[in-house]
Structure 1
Amino acid sequence: MELSGSVWMRRVGMLSARRSLLHLAATQFHSSSTNFLASPPLSFPFLTKFLGPSSRCISFSTHSSAAPLPSTLHQDDLFTSPVGDDEKKAESPKKGSKVILKGLTYPEVEKWVQSHGYRPGQALMLWKRLYGNNVWASCYEELEGLNKDFKKMLGEHADFKALSLKDIHTASDGTRKILFTLEDGLIIETVVIPCERGRTTVCVSSQVGCAMNCQFCYTGRMGLQRNLSTAEIVEQAVLARRLLSSEVGSITNVVFMGMGEPLHNFENVLKASEIMVDEQGLHFSPRKVTVSTSGLVPQLKRFLRESNCALAVSLNATTDEVRNWIMPINRKYKLGLLLETLREELCARQNYKVLFEYVMLAGVNDSTEDAKRLIDLVQGIPCKINLISFNPHCGSRFKPTKEDKMIQFRNVLAEAGCIVFLRWSRGDDQMAACGQLGKPGEIHAPLLRVPAQFQAALGASI
């Protein structure tokens, strides 16, 4: 997940002119300096004048072999939402004049069905054919057993599909990566992860790209292109069951750990999770639907108060200095604020544990001292800790921690009484593992300067 220059990418009509200006700016910069990582953040006033205020969020990419440019973002601009207020609201569940059914909760479906003169019982029968009874209907012709007039009305006024299947890639360990095409032509990726113990997990995306600019995540190289609608999120889980249940068995778990920062698309994610746990529908257990966040504190508080689903927090560092670098969201919501918020919110929750995700980066956050600091940081927070093997990707400057060192780190935590698990890579040979989803374009989010004390650890990769 990354912070991006994608604010202006949607303005496709001016793309050619902008590329020319970006190339000019980058060329001028490269000709005037060779020490990019030591340079202060850059700004280009003439671009701001041409493109408008949103151009403050532009990042630069060239085909030069020189080091990547540092961020052009001012710290105060880092977390300005890349979508406008109107776009942050839940999208209207309509496609043209038709209602997109998978964007509606059951009470909304019931109300809509009644508005067309039909009984609430018809709404329940429709709902079960969308989500239950192993039907997962994708068109009105598949609604067997419904009243003929009701089916005709649905054909005229409702739309059943939000996604189109593009491809399925199967990794050597059985993990499947599903590529879906959206109505506007953008691509998202969903991962289905089978487990020998009978648990199969679907990892869904919540955005096209991501705005958080986490330095270890491939998705974030894309920047944020747009939020997914409720229907586009829900249908990932529906189609995963429809397409793969016969091969991988029952899909029992959902994790919002695909493309995007889920709590940056709060309303749609909350609504989608509500649909997923409906007892008459997909009927996932709330404890088996996990929403992950990089640490958006206000939205995190809302989530814990409004949802019964599980929460995962991507932690990945034990000091503000390191987290400021690898997860720029920390510049706004520091570790202390994040963890104290969790202590306060969870003190009233019974039998609820937050899941801390900790991606292990060789020489950056995997020392014994880091393990000891992590023990202190999570004191008083009911939690579990997942230590995740870093999954390399094109352009990454990080290296994965070796297995024996991950085990040593795990042992330090376990001896202190922490509940801790090791999570090895799944699907990495098909770019389906944690932090590998998406496809960055020609212009992408900036790589941030590496603190001096870590440059040796990253070695030639920087």
Structure 2
Amino acid sequence: MVSLDLAAPGAPAKPVFELSEKPSLIGLSREELAAALVEKGVAERQVKMRVSQIWHWLYIRGISDFDDMTNVAKDLRALLKQHFTIQRPEIAEEQISNDGTRKWLLRFPARGAGRPVEVETVYIPEEGRGTLCISSQVGCTLTCSFCHTGTQRLVRNLTAEEILSQLLLARDRLGDFPDRETPQGGILPSSDRKITNIVMMGMGEPLYNFEEVKKALLIATDGDGLSLSRRRVTLSTSGVVPEIYRTGEEIGVMLAISLHATNDALRDELVPINKKYPLKQLMEACRAYPGLSNARRITFEYVMLKGVNDSLTDARDLVKILKGVPAKINLIPFNPWPGSKYECSDWETIEAFADFVNAAGYASPIRTPRGRDIFAACGQLKSESERMRKTERLALQAMMIANHGEDD
């Protein structure tokens, strides 16, 4: 089920990981980058040009070594190497699913008095597109009862550098930056890119790390760098209502809501943040999200739990609470993990639920589980320090075979 590919032909070598107290230039805004250069002695009359050069090398060319900045003067390159870093995180493990999904366990160096931390990042290839699922926190504080990630305690927020580095490293591994022979002004055409979409749906609640997520996504969508369309960037939240308003106003990406229930009593159990921001407040924030239209809908994620939230009454109530919101409902078959008290709804039940919601005028695709054999599916991410023991992995595999057959 699991294959390792740390030395895949044609892929960049695994980065050499060295703990460094040097600050990284990755994740800095142009203004912050300019200030950092001035502080280290770069003449102010040169700063605008130097910022433009560095930005180009980091986010268009995708380099991770100052020596590769060939149009930057040698003395400036030496200065940058002395005071800063642009290294990638260490790949502690890379796994490839039978369906082509890739999962990287990434290790970041210690911050201050802390210890190195690990997060998981997932790449999902599809026909005509490729989606990268990015983490925003180490662990999670929300304790959603159906989510495996929620069983890991929150360690800390990721920085904008660490969030962006997941994208940069994935593009390295997939060959998604121009090669060295491409002219310096060249940029890989969007039609040739492996990563066309990113989703903030990995470990953690992005809106509990708003400022760092904002910085990272503004750089990812910058037209003079990584140049991802904001319509191809989706931020998923369990319902941090005040920051939903800010997301629309300050970041402007697509929004996904981790919903999973149609009444407060059940949602309090499944998604405990609902006790602080109940459904009425959440839906008001959704209706006020800027730029909503049939072409720019909010995605509502709804995990299908057998006998819990999967009845036609639940489907009817779902349609009622979404009234007036341009929406798409992603129905997610529950992905099992040892110790969970839930089971996935029967396929016939999921299809009946989807048919009812579709008939009411809402698209309700059933999400095809991806990467289950490497524990990369929705709700399954968990860092290596909290990974399952071998016996638990075998139990998961046995459960999957029993429920879905050996070819799943």
TM-score by length of 2: 0.80
- 1:441, CA displacement in angstroms? 6.5
Is the 1:162–1:183 contact (alpha carbons within 8 Å) kept by the matching residues of 2?
Answer: no
Q: Which residue number corresponds to residue 105 of structure 1?
A: 29
Is the 2:245–2:288 contact (alpha carbons within 8 Å) kept by the matching residues of 1?
Answer: no
- 1:341, CA displacement in angstroms? 2.1
Q: Which residue number corresponds to residue 358 of structure 1?
A: 302
Q: Of the two structures, which has the highest relative contact order with CA contacts closer than 8 Å and spacing of 6 or more?
A: 1
- Percent of paired sites with the same residue: 41
Of 43, 47, 57 in structure 2, the residue corresponding to residue 129 of structure 1 is: 57
Is 1:190 matched up with 2:121?
Answer: yes
Q: Distance in 1 between matches of 2:357 and 2:269?
A: 24
SS in 1 for 2:219: helix
Counterparts in 2 of 1:246 and 1:129: CA distance versus 1, 3 Å: closer
Is 1:142 matched up with 2:72?
Answer: no
Is 1:208 matched up with 2:138?
Answer: yes
SS in 1 for 2:310: coil
Q: Which amino acid aligns with 2:171?
A: R
Q: Distance in 2 between matches of 1:151 and 1:442?
A: 40
Q: Which residue number corresponds to residue 340 of structure 1?
A: 284
Q: Which residue number corresponds to residue 3 of structure 1?
A: none
Q: Which residue number corresponds to residue 297 of structure 1?
A: 241
Which shows bigger deviation, 435-444 or 290-299?
Answer: 435-444
Is the 1:218–1:437 contact (alpha carbons within 8 Å) kept by the matching residues of 2?
Answer: yes
Of 251, 270, 282 in structure 2, the residue corresponding to residue 326 of structure 1 is: 270
Q: Which residue number corresponds to residue 273 of structure 1?
A: 217
- 1:171, CA displacement in angstroms? 0.5
- 1:123, CA displacement in angstroms? 1.4
Q: Distance in 1 between matches of 2:104 and 2:54?
A: 26
Q: Which amino acid aligns with 2:122?
A: V
Q: Deviations over 1:267-302 (max 9, x none)?
A: 101111011001111111111111110001111121
Q: Which amino acid aligns with 1:178?
A: W
Q: Distance in 2 between matches of 1:102 and 1:443?
A: 29
Q: Distance in 2 between matches of 1:200 and 1:264?
A: 26
Q: Which residue number corresponds to residue 419 of structure 1?
A: 363
Of 217, 235, 243 in structure 1, the residue corresponding to residue 173 of structure 2 is: 243
Q: Which residue number corresponds to residue 399 of structure 2?
A: none
Counterparts in 2 of 1:279 and 1:111: CA distance versus 1, 3 Å: farther
Q: Deviations over 1:320-346 (max 9, x none)?
A: 111111111111111111112222344
Is 1:373 matched up with 2:317?
Answer: yes
SS in 2 for 1:254: strand
Is the 1:204–1:258 contact (alpha carbons within 8 Å) kept by the matching residues of 2?
Answer: yes
Written as runs of structure 1 = structure 2, the 5 A alignment for 1:51-90 is none
Q: Distance in 2 between matches of 1:129 and 1:389?
A: 42
TM-score by length of 1: 0.71
Q: Which runs of 5+ in 1 are unaligned?
A: 1-94, 445-462
Q: Which amino acid aligns with 1:270?
A: K
Q: Deviations over 1:173-232 (max 9, x none)?
A: 000000111113221100011002x20011000000000000111111112111001100
Q: Distance in 2 between matches of 1:242 and 1:252?
A: 14
Counterparts in 2 of 1:440 and 1:125: CA distance versus 1, 3 Å: closer
Which shows bigger deviation, 218-227 or 241-250?
Answer: 241-250
Aligned pairs, number: 345
- 1:382, CA displacement in angstroms? 1.5
Q: Distance in 2 between matches of 1:249 and 1:166?
A: 25
Counterparts in 2 of 1:246 and 1:292: CA distance versus 1, 3 Å: closer
- 1:245, CA displacement in angstroms? 3.1
- 1:439, CA displacement in angstroms? 4.4
Q: Distance in 1 between matches of 2:274 and 2:310?
A: 19
Q: Distance in 1 between matches of 2:160 and 2:172?
A: 18
Q: Distance in 1 between matches of 2:48 and 2:259?
A: 45
| Structure (1 or 2) with the larger CA radius of gyration | 1
Counterparts in 2 of 1:125 and 1:440: CA distance versus 1, 3 Å: closer
- 1:103, CA displacement in angstroms? 2.4
Is the 2:330–2:366 contact (alpha carbons within 8 Å) kept by the matching residues of 1?
Answer: yes
